[in-house]
Structure 1
């Protein structure tokens, strides 16, 4: 059974999901056949705890009237697929993509037109920039407005070194967390377990929360915020399970 492509719904056909030891890892099987990722690599991970969580996703997938399911029901499998298939052959490109967030990191761009919001941004975001400097040696510059600013080369090099030290699993987690949060800083904080996913998601949605405090809740915005927090929580859970072994 191949893991579903990101664009299409599939039909559940299996009854039994198992985790079996295979080589040096743990593979997920459907009715005795190993799950294969889109590139045909087996869904086999080195952590039994992670494999059991992957199996639980597949047990739950397609529990609908028509038996259909989508990749959204398999978030941990998606991260595992990146770790196993996409990243090993493209580490430099993955690291470069993540490093690009240093030039557009949410925490570096402040609202100069709204002093009250600017003060809240400083209070909630500056501690994370200080944390990054302590953890990695990267001191990022801050500006007002949305016009991109170049970051100091020393800071960029420090972040490059931090990313170079990441495992494939950690890069896969960052590949979800940094885009979701709009911040490599907060993504690294998740990776190093400096705060909970809920705290980091709240930090990343400061602007939205401030707007809704003035104008009232917007269902589209709250749905988007909830979806983002789910992504971050899935990434954090994947990392915890992977590290459990």
Structure 2
């Protein structure tokens, strides 16, 4: 196979599409306390968000975890290897001023939650969904007073208004960090209910991830693994794990 010339226009275009990562400009990264909050110092200077907001964290453990991400960087700083830092930035820059909108989106997800839409067949998939999802729905009903209407197939059905109001009561008071983590888990799993179950400690990240992929795993059992899809799934799970870890570091 012949090599692509270095001056190939397609290669040049691809190179331009990949932003060059910034060089590492610091030697040390460490957690620091400032004004009864915690942050990260790079060579003694506090880090800021991309929007130049100050980072004030409620937990020393979280600050230490962020500092470890910064210290782990090599010659260049790669945000993809810093999921906690990215999530904190999102919380401060994106969620702080939009808490009501974020809470509204969580309620909207709950109105068409993944766990409420069940397969009609085959029997094995129906059973798998029931085994993974019914215990979560039972917990939500008994512990959180959340009652959902289940549907076979994909036809939309409205969920009870008291259930959606109750979800709003649960999520609206959350601080931006917890709300960002909850929203991240929700979008990655496709389920507000699974996200709330992780937030409340009813499910681990692994358990919620398995529940979110019942249909996909069933199809892979029939047709085999899609390696590219599994790579993408692994990347998404790393993001979910970071959100779960953030919640743990705030407790």
Number of residue equivalences: 233
Residue 98 of structure 1: aligned partner: 106
1:55 corresponds in structure 2 to 67
Which 5+ residue runs of structure 1 have no aligned equivalent?
Answer: 1-6
Q: Is the 8 A contact 1:105 1:185 kept in 2?
A: yes
More displaced 10-residue stretch of structure 1: 168-177 or 142-151: 142-151
**Contact map agreement 2:112 2:159 (CA 8 A) in 1:** no
Give unmatched runs, 5+ long, in structure 2: 1-18
Worse-matched range after superposition: 44-53 or 101-110:
101-110
Q: Does 1:44 align with 2:48?
A: no
CA pair 46-125 structure 1, distance change in 2 beyond 3 A: same
Q: 1:135 aligns with which of 130, 143, 155?
A: 143
2:222 is the alignment partner of 1:214:
yes
Counterpart for residue 12 of structure 2 = none
Which 4+ runs in 1 deviate beyond 6 A?
none
Partner of 2:244 in structure 1? 236
Give 1:1-245 correspondences, 5 Å limit.
9-61=21-73, 63=74, 67-243=75-251
Give TM-score scaled by structure 1 length.
Answer: 0.89
What do residues 154-181 of structure 1 show as CA deviations (whole Å, max 9, x unaligned)? Answer: 1111111111232322211112110011
Report the TM-score, using the length of structure 2 for normalisation: 0.87
Distance 1:98 1:8 in 2: 35
RMSD: 1.7
CA shift for structure 1 position 148: 2.4
